[in-house]
Structure 1
């Protein structure tokens, strides 16, 4: 895991670290700038290459929104909400607009439908049958903030919103939670983050670790119910900023995040890079442990020297096969500052592994395994039984580093991570205070996609950081 230093936590934001997704650290020794994008990139798996796709009239630049792909109309990508922060921190507001990218025709369309959710960030949205189901999130203005636990449904046939009123006791208001569909067609809500004001200018955050089931009653898609569930097994430690995807066996996988320890005026925590699986059939968590490459083990048995991929990029320490390995990696900023990241990795084979009938042991220790560094807010996708992990962020002292690396893991074999795109140290930079106000001018009037917005969203506190 990676360490995150202490910092003051009063302020506002956009979705940066997980626990600070909403903690909004604004008073810092260095003032950082926030740059948001509305670019669209496509990764070609066969060609192992990224392509920037230029499509006219995209949604305004934003972060902390939700995007869902559905098969209707030859394939559609739906986007709702999110937030905007100008580079100089003078503007900040939440969106409440709904957009669809028609994948067949490569055209953007803004869908204007009344009765939808209010402007928010850090909400979660999934495709359920022929609807989009949206839960939670938060909204922050200059004067106050609010977390939500409301549920909305958007009908993909009629293009209409409806607010659901499930029976039973549901989750408390939160943002940044897990929201996935089970094989039975129910919806799982797990974890998330929220904060409460304990006194003037002092907030206390909560990293939730409870789980709820949202179920549509038989024969009536308009009636829903909440049920709290208590899964067994090796549960993830409390965290926020974790990433979620659904494996081919319908299990939900959870990666990384940040675990924070809060004091009244400071925030300290660890960034994580562990992998967990939730089996909704058995209502059980278990840790995902890699077995190591079989081909590598066979070569070692024959006495041939192996050269693990990516080892030349890392300096490894660790005298014995069963002792933890300390990996030291350096990231160089554009201004020449060198930040050293230290990871302590358990020796392969010590921890439990993903449930399997394969009794092959893990790869012999001695060389640090290739794996994503600890981070929060990475993007996950599963295609052809492989998990793809892109980017994310971590913090070193008062500096935030945004990552652009890409990894792949075969979920059927669960042997080892493969590096598809390594982090380029030259591309890693900390964006500090400049006089740029280009994005501020461009984004004026963009909130809500042109709809009338709330007065309290028009102002910004000093400096903005992302919240989820």
Structure 2
């Protein structure tokens, strides 16, 4: 009883501290928000001039980030709303509404009377009720200089069938915030987390609210168990069993005056409704297996086929007291809630094209059928991959490429190597970025915009890519954009920035040379581990090659790992390779 009472008292103390901090932030930000309310009211006056719905075919939207991209629940369309753009000196906010016709590959700007005020970092959820609805909550408005912020706490619904906006006024909802996450659950919306920031203070949230779509009422949940710490920008998804998954996110805390430290969270939690207790929920921390994403923030999330959740890109920041550096990413991961496991999204690529590139020959017109009649092509190398988990939890992948013998036992000719023209073909894929907008429709992933940094320059993107999640063969560029043509008003060394942007896009000649070298290395057989001699038992193989495997295990181990754990990992790696070679 004593321990329980002490724990409950500690919990109440944390709640009081959070409440005091929120009150402090609200008081200091009230003056800022009053200043911005006048600017927001001015924009709303301009919006009030719209008296009818006007749909105008247009070119793709201008560059932006922190907008929302949603799949229309009834039509083959994507819906883009809001967002922000920074040109080096001025921050622009949008409340424009665009639709993208998937079948026609065409954009339309839709002007509807009485829209929500301009905003970014809001949340939008599409539901099929009433012929299709798009629900929007929160987000933020920034002053043109980007120094002051207004955080919305309003709730809007776009009736897609009638093309009308409606503000839904319901008491008891979440406080003003941005960076929160919201999903549809049965006939409710569930909202988690986010943050509120003023010039001098900020606060992150880990509260949970539900909004009933039938009664239009908010309810604040008080789940049992230990849930996630306050954060924004996390992954939030619904499992087939009706639970809510929360993964990752970002938060920061003040370590001393004028010095903040950010945290890129990598933990995962399950918010599950309690059986037989309507309205009661419980938090549980879960530890998924598989190839987990590296720590990052600014990643994007969408619901994938087979009840999986996909995660794309983001930025891995390295924070120091006076600087912030980061690596932008364009990798893809899938989370399978049924198996509680992460998978790295690997593109298969067109098989015929891969075979042609490995052999270094282009398919001549009319020769494909002839090759099929004459028989199959040269046998391809066999790749054997094993994963070894050490005691320290490190997952080490051992790859062995077994070269297939050429037909008739003859040695491979020079034609079997990739020609420079073939090896230098650029891969079509989104460049590394954070804060991209994702939507999935009919098993296809659509990716729009986002940003990356080149030196002191922020490059905001407006390109559009598509990936078939069933085939996982290749990205398709639907809209291409050249960041070099983007307006940037800050005084910078243009030549240096140009080089950095080109490097981030991966379009330089040096990059192509590197790709050629990498492909040549792959053709040579990948990693060359010590081979197993004919008839050699493992008890003889291990002493002969142990130093090699210890070196490999030490490179893969965490800094400061104990030597005995490194040795055990090395032995496990050697055994896995030995068995794969048998």
Q: Considering the TM-score relative to the shorter chain, is it more than 0.5? A: yes
Shift of 1:234: 0.6
Name the one with the larger strand percent. 1
Work out which of the residue numbers 340, 346, 360 in structure 2 matches 1:283: 340
Work out which of the residue numbers 147, 169, 194 in structure 2 matches 1:137: 194
Equivalence for 2:497: none
Equivalence for 1:149: 206
Shift of 1:429: 2.2
Equivalence for 2:565: none
Q: d(CA) in 2 for partners of 1:48 and 1:426?
A: 25
Q: Cα 1:419–1:178, aligned 2, differ >3 Å: closer, same or farther?
A: same
Shift of 1:274: 0.3
Shift of 1:87: 1.4
Name the one with the larger helix percent. 2
Shift of 1:39: 0.3
Shift of 1:385: 1.0
The question of whether the paired residues in 1 share the 8 Å contact of 2:443 and 2:469 is answered with yes
Shift of 1:105: 0.3
Shift of 1:135: 0.2
Q: Please give the per-residue CA displacement for 1:250-308, whole angstroms capped at 9, x wherever unaligned.
A: 111100000001111211110000001111011011111111113434666794359xx
Work out which of the residue numbers 155, 165, 186 in structure 1 matches 2:243: 186
Deviates more, 1:51-60 or 1:294-303: 294-303
Deviates more, 1:197-206 or 1:45-54: 45-54
Equivalence for 2:149: 92
Q: d(CA) in 1 for partners of 2:461 and 2:360?
A: 38
Work out which of the residue numbers 383, 386, 398 in structure 1 matches 2:444: 386
Q: Please give the per-residue CA displacement for 1:395-414, whole angstroms capped at 9, x wherever unaligned.
A: 11111111000001111111
Equivalence for 2:216: 159
Q: Please give the per-residue CA displacement for 1:138-162, whole angstroms capped at 9, x wherever unaligned.
A: 0012331110000000000000000
Equivalence for 2:465: 407
Q: Cα 1:16–1:264, aligned 2, differ >3 Å: closer, same or farther?
A: farther
Equivalence for 1:109: 166
Equivalences for residues 228-377 of structure 1 within 5 A: 228-297=285-354, 303-304=361-362, 366-377=424-435
Q: d(CA) in 2 for partners of 1:41 and 1:129?
A: 27
Deviates more, 1:288-297 or 1:140-149: 288-297
The question of whether the paired residues in 1 share the 8 Å contact of 2:98 and 2:110 is answered with yes
Work out which of the residue numbers 418, 437, 448 in structure 1 matches 2:476: 418
Query: Please, what TM-score do these two structures have when normalized by structure 1?
Result: 0.72
Q: Cα 1:89–1:381, aligned 2, differ >3 Å: closer, same or farther?
A: closer
Which secondary structure does the structure 2 equivalent of 1:166 belong to? coil
Q: d(CA) in 1 for partners of 2:103 and 2:236?
A: 30
Q: d(CA) in 2 for partners of 1:204 and 1:425?
A: 31
Q: d(CA) in 1 for partners of 2:175 and 2:490?
A: 32
Q: d(CA) in 2 for partners of 1:39 and 1:16?
A: 13
Shift of 1:88: 2.8
Work out which of the residue numbers 202, 226, 242 in structure 2 matches 1:169: 226
Equivalence for 1:57: 114
Segments of structure 2 that go 5 or more residues without pairing to the other structure are: 1-31, 33-63, 67-86, 365-380, 382-398, 402-417, 492-582
Q: d(CA) in 1 for partners of 2:315 and 2:65?
A: 11
Q: d(CA) in 1 for partners of 2:485 and 2:188?
A: 40
Which secondary structure does the structure 1 equivalent of 2:302 belong to? strand
Deviates more, 1:81-90 or 1:219-228: 81-90
Q: Please give the per-residue CA displacement for 1:70-108, whole angstroms capped at 9, x wherever unaligned.
A: 111111000000000121336421000000000000000
Q: Cα 1:402–1:156, aligned 2, differ >3 Å: closer, same or farther?
A: same
| RCO comparison, higher one (Cα < 8 Å, 6+) | 1
Query: Please, what TM-score do these two structures have when normalized by structure 2?
Result: 0.58
The question of whether the paired residues in 2 share the 8 Å contact of 1:278 and 1:284 is answered with yes
Q: Please give the per-residue CA displacement for 1:444-468, whole angstroms capped at 9, x wherever unaligned.
A: xxxxxxxxxxxxxxxxxxxxxxxxx
Count of aligned positions: 358
Aligned-pair Cα RMSD in Å: 2.7
Equivalence for 1:310: none
Structure 1's consecutive aligned runs of 4 or more residues displaced over 6 angstroms after TM superposition are: none
Rg larger in structure: 2
Equivalence for 1:462: none
The question of whether the paired residues in 2 share the 8 Å contact of 1:289 and 1:351 is answered with no
Q: d(CA) in 1 for partners of 2:132 and 2:88?
A: 42
Q: Please give the per-residue CA displacement for 1:378-423, whole angstroms capped at 9, x wherever unaligned.
A: 0111111111111100111111111000001111111110111101
The question of whether the paired residues in 1 share the 8 Å contact of 2:272 and 2:283 is answered with yes
Q: Cα 1:132–1:351, aligned 2, differ >3 Å: closer, same or farther?
A: farther
